[in-house]
Each structure stands twice: as structure tokens, then as C-alpha cells.
Amino acid sequence: MDVSTIKKIIEGSDNIVFFGGAGVSTESNIPDFRSAAGLYSSRYKSSFSPEEILSHDFFINHTLEFYDFYKNKMIYKDAKPNKAHLALAKLEASGKLKAVITQNIDGLHQMAGSKKVLELHGSIHRNYCMKCRSFYDLDHVLNSEGIPVCDKCRGIIKPDVVLYQESLDSSVLYEAINYIIDSDVLIVGGTSLTVYPAAGLVDYYRGNKLILINRTPTTFDNSANYVHYGSIGEFLGQVVELS
């Protein structure tokens, strides 16, 4: 799949949707989960695996240990948007891209300028008191000693991220499904398409311009109309012609 082919498809459409995963942010030096250098391939300083630590039960029963891992391994405050984020924001500003659907929790799409971002797994930038639901930003969590607590009621603050054993926000999921159903072009990038229910979103696409961009093959490659293996930032940067 060459750049000129995708350029023509994008030029001819004003109803594009993007669906992306961890591979979109690895080019901003945020590690993914399942690659050889990913988060799940290494042990933290405890006897628990990252999957165990990032579960609802662990958060409830071992909150201090959860936050020790979360602050050290899940937060990359200095990360900046890369070419993929910037290209998508430019496509949206031109009126062609209708929505970004992301599995990432880092907020880099918004930092790049994207307005319509559907965050399937939540965001590190939103945090709520489990008792009174007061909102807290990321700085409050990072600056807290140990377990972050509410200034108003002293309740425990929980990040608005979807942990294992928790369900996705149904309203966000249904909105994502509707955008995909209505889309003319669906670009899927930086995801192995192995995590459900998010991976199942691709099945809702009804068009004939499904574009997959990933460094490695996925189980959906045979269903795609166009496939590119390589850097999503470099590819989208060339397609959109970032200045």
C-alpha cells in the first residue's frame, strides 16, 4: 500500500474515522503492553504481574501498591504528540475526520488538537473521589503522597481508567460504534486488535475502505482493503503532509 493511494482515498472522503491503540503512542516513547519491550513482558518490583496490578480487585485490596505501579509505569507526563496525533488533528480540522476512537489513556490526541476523541479505556487526566465524586486532575494524583485522597471528604481517588474486571463505558462504546457504522473510510492503526470488546469495533464497519496500519500483522489483515506495515506516524505524516 503506497502513500499516493491512501492520499486519494482521503481526498475523496469527508467521513473518516480513526481507531487506534497503544502503537500510536509508542512513537511518543510511551511503551505498549504486549510487545517484546512492552509493559507486560517485565516484572515490577512486586511479585504481582502488571495484569494483576491493573485489576479492579487489586485496586480495592492493594491500593497503595496499585498507585506505586500506576505512578511509575502508567504516567508519562512529559510525552508529546507525534506525527500520527498531529496528522489526525489536521484531518479533523479540515473537516474530513469525524472522530478519533482510542484505547489509549494518555490524552495525546487532545494535546495535538483533536476535538472529538472517544476514549474507550478512560484517561489519566480525569480522577474522581470514590465517595463524593469530586474531580481531580493528574497533578493532584502525582503530587499525593501514597494514596491520593479527596480534599473534601478524604475519600480515595480513583483514576477514570478502565481496569481489568471493569466494563467499558457503554455510552462511549455505542457512540464509537455509531461513528464506525456511518463512516466511509475507517483507518485502524497501532493496535494488534486482540483486546475485546474494543477489537470487535472493526466488525461494525460497512464500507470498502478499511485501512490497517501496524508494525506487525493482525488477525484482521485479510478483511482489510489496504494494509501497511510500519510506523503509523511516518505513514500518516506523509499522507496528510504535515508542514
Question: Taking every pair of C-alpha atoms in the chain, what is the biggest distance, in angstroms?
Answer: 57
Tell me the whole-structure pTM to 2 decimals.
0.93
Q: Tell me, what's the pLDDT at 184?
A: 97
Give the C-alpha separation, 236 to 23, whole Å: 13
**What domains can be seen in the chain, in order of their start residue?**
3-30+81-121+167-240 (3.40.50.1220)
Q: Tell me, what's the pLDDT at 44?
A: 57
The grid coordinates listed for 78 are 512529559
Position of cell 502488571?
A: 50
62 is catalytic: no
- 232 to 24, 139, 188, 238: CA distances (angstroms): 7, 30, 10, 10
Q: Tell me, what's the pLDDT at 36?
A: 47
Q: Tell me, what's the pLDDT at 199?
A: 81
- By C-alpha distance, which of 201, 40, 21, 163 is closest to 106? 21
| Ranges of the chain whose pLDDT falls below 50 | 36, 38
The grid coordinates listed for 36 are 517484546
CB 12 within 8 A of CB 184: no
Catalytic, out of 121, 125, 140, 228: 121
Give the C-alpha separation, 214 to 24, whole Å: 9
Give the C-alpha separation, 192 to 106, whole Å: 18
34-59 exposure pattern, b = at least 16 Cβ within 10 A, e = fewer: ebeeebeeeeeeeebebeebbbeebb
pLDDT tens for residues 101-124?
A: 999 999 999 999 999 999 999 999
Q: Tell me, what's the pLDDT at 75?
A: 94
CB 114 within 8 A of CB 32: no
Q: Tell me, what's the pLDDT at 32?
A: 78
The grid coordinates listed for 177 are 460504534
Give the C-alpha separation, 134 to 151, whole Å: 9
Q: Tell me, what's the pLDDT at 43?
A: 56
